[in-house]
Chain A
């Protein structure tokens, strides 16, 4: 039993890292722009199908590199044309817009690539388990975790040690003051949105090899990502990361003891956090209104 627990905790961390990657992008957009991006799952799906298409032309690694960039480019255009006019209005406007956009993206994928699940080829050397005992540690899953760690490290580096990051952080505190100091907040929000969508695209390209392709791929991952943000604490990227990992572990452990509740456990956690610590694990008291 102890081995089973250990396996499921480790496995939960792997799954959680993936939730965290998606939630981080969502959280970035939410923090700076105040947009609850319901289309995030749709962007993830688009990233996955871009990777599928590119993989047949430039190979697996080329696709992994280019697909998130293409997805981010779409994100930049969407922000410029659709989201920007809604800044300053009630958040429900952008919520409704991204809500509709999610349907358009998913149905677009369904129309272009069909409702089925086209096979996504992962290089042979990545598909085998690393050892017979730790069979759930396949090369691809380890590769995915390494890539998530690198992406998160790069994101935290950019946010903490670059001018762009400094401005994004300042913008999340007080966008108006930042604007009066001469920073072009329109471009800042645009780049921040693109960065968030880049993370969705990267999550999609990784999910294609991890979970397989289907038009509903991103939709299924969206709710756990929202929950990760709330559990971690609205406004805290570190909290989001922690929230994602916690959800992964909780699902893994619930599957061992009571599989029927493996989905519900996410929402039970959400309920407990909202009752016991409404600001989330790392959200600062009084920061969320």
Chain B
């Protein structure tokens, strides 16, 4: 039966090919937008490809809307605003850092924006700090960014992982049990979020009975799910994100694990819910922003603008991008300057106006940490849309950010300002 033959392709060539394939993973991305002279530039160093392509795209849509609005209102200090967009990849910190350096040194951007992937955001923050450029991290959650390794010039829109964990843990402990097993993505965000969940769970009497770190971009979770089933937890916690979240949750439901234990997690995103088959849209989660807030001023207008622009409802990511760019513009306006130190000082304690904050209790940058504190939305995923096909999340509690963000001392952030 064996079909061996006298094939002449050298194995070395095949191995060289394999090496080339690996090298392709770090192939240089490309500039998407042309640049004009004398504009205020936002360097957008965020994923356009890979696991986080979808959230990256939505953050970009929000940022583009903000740029259009800013320019329609006369720009920043009388100059037009402009996005310089480049793909950071979803998982290669080397590429993201290289792009950041290029944007600052060659493109002379005034603001550095990114990254969905925390590990990439951490690398970018170091570059931004070294170069003294104001950086806004719209959606990279790792705590250290505005915690132990915080910088005077690095600000963040999305929450810390500890804040998210503090928001969801009480519901899970109270309603579903104290023994938790974790499926955690193996990089900065996953490690931080699991540490946050373990801490929040332990504070309420719960325990971690096991867990696995899964490589970013895992497509087959079956082996991990078999282990999780054997551990018999009360709650199986999914901390994966993007397509990893979709694959993990879908396979868990196919294995019938939802009938043996409660499936839940911390951070959930509309992008992932939309990618799941209806039967796999289950569990309790926390969203950092949600579009269906009928009683909150300006949200409906924002939804309309995003719908007109993209044909889809905004997600938390869209809002991150939108609020991120607007925060930079407000910093420049507050400082009356594009000097990074002056803008960073202007942002300390700054409250975003309601049409940017778009949440019931408002949003502000906590002074001394550079972290935006806004509302969080705890609830459960829905098999089918409630008020429309995209309304896939039922918000049960709006949690005030100030109640779950911890104290400034707890974050470990000590800003060191330039002399």
Least distance between A46 CB and chain B CB atoms (Å): 17
Interface residues of A in 112-155 (CB under 8 A from B): 114-122, 127-129, 132, 135-136, 138, 140
Residues on B with beta carbons closer than 8 Å to the beta carbon of A289: 8, 10
Residues of chain B whose beta carbon lies under 8 Å from any beta carbon of chain A:
1-11, 13-18, 20-22, 24, 48-51, 53-54, 56-57, 186, 212-215, 217, 219-220, 222-227, 229-230, 243, 246-247, 250, 253-257, 260, 271, 274-279
B256, A226: Cβ atoms under 8 Å? no
A2 to B56, CA, bound (A): 43
In the complex, A11 has a CB within 8 A of chain B: yes
- Given A34-B8, A214-B243, A234-B11, CB of A117 within 8 Å of CB of B54: yes
Least distance between B384 CB and chain A CB atoms (Å): 12
| Interface residue from B51, B213, B230, B279 paired with A127 (Cβ < 8 Å) | B279
Residues on A with beta carbons closer than 8 Å to the beta carbon of B4: 233, 235-236, 239, 282-284, 287
Residues on B with beta carbons closer than 8 Å to the beta carbon of A229: 14
Which 3 pairs between the two chains have the least Cβ-Cβ distance? Answer: A115-B53, A117-B275, A172-B5
Residues of chain A whose beta carbon lies under 8 Å from any beta carbon of chain B:
3-4, 7-8, 11-12, 14-15, 30-31, 34, 36, 38, 91-92, 95, 99, 102-103, 110, 114-122, 127-129, 132, 135-136, 138, 140, 156, 159-160, 169, 172-174, 210-212, 214-217, 220-223, 226, 229-230, 233-239, 251-252, 255-256, 259-260, 262-263, 278, 282-284, 287-289
Least distance between A281 CB and chain B CB atoms (Å): 11
26 pairs of residues in contact across A and B, judged by CB atoms under 8 Å: A4-B226, A7-B226, A12-B223, A14-B222, A15-B222, A36-B9, A38-B21, A115-B48, A115-B49, A119-B275, A119-B277, A138-B255, A160-B1, A172-B3, A172-B5, A211-B219, A222-B21, A223-B18, A233-B4, A235-B4, A236-B4, A238-B2, A239-B2, A252-B223, A255-B223, A255-B224
Least distance between B185 CB and chain A CB atoms (Å): 12
| Interface residue from B3, B51, B215, B271 paired with A31 (Cβ < 8 Å) | B3
A15, B220: Cβ atoms under 8 Å? yes
Residue of A nearest to B277 (CB): A119
Residues on A with beta carbons closer than 8 Å to the beta carbon of B10: 288-289
| Interface residue from A38, A92, A216, A262 paired with B13 (Cβ < 8 Å) | A92
- Given A215-B53, A234-B11, A260-B213, CB of A120 within 8 Å of CB of B277: yes
Residues on B with beta carbons closer than 8 Å to the beta carbon of A172: 3, 5-7
Least distance between A144 CB and chain B CB atoms (Å): 12
A109 to B253, CA, bound (A): 27
A276 to B48, CA, bound (A): 42
Interface hub of B4, B56, B214 (most chain A Cβ within 10 A): B4
Least distance between A200 CB and chain B CB atoms (Å): 16
Secondary structure call for the B interface: helix
A211, B223: Cβ atoms under 8 Å? no
- Given A11-B222, A117-B275, CB of A91 within 8 Å of CB of B9: yes
Residue of B nearest to A168 (CB): B3
A214 to B229, CA, bound (A): 27
B3, A234: Cβ atoms under 8 Å? no
B3, A255: Cβ atoms under 8 Å? no
B223, A119: Cβ atoms under 8 Å? no
B3, A238: Cβ atoms under 8 Å? yes
A255, B13: Cβ atoms under 8 Å? no
A273 to B277, CA, bound (A): 41
A138 to B225, CA, bound (A): 13
A115, B220: Cβ atoms under 8 Å? no
A220 to B224, CA, bound (A): 18
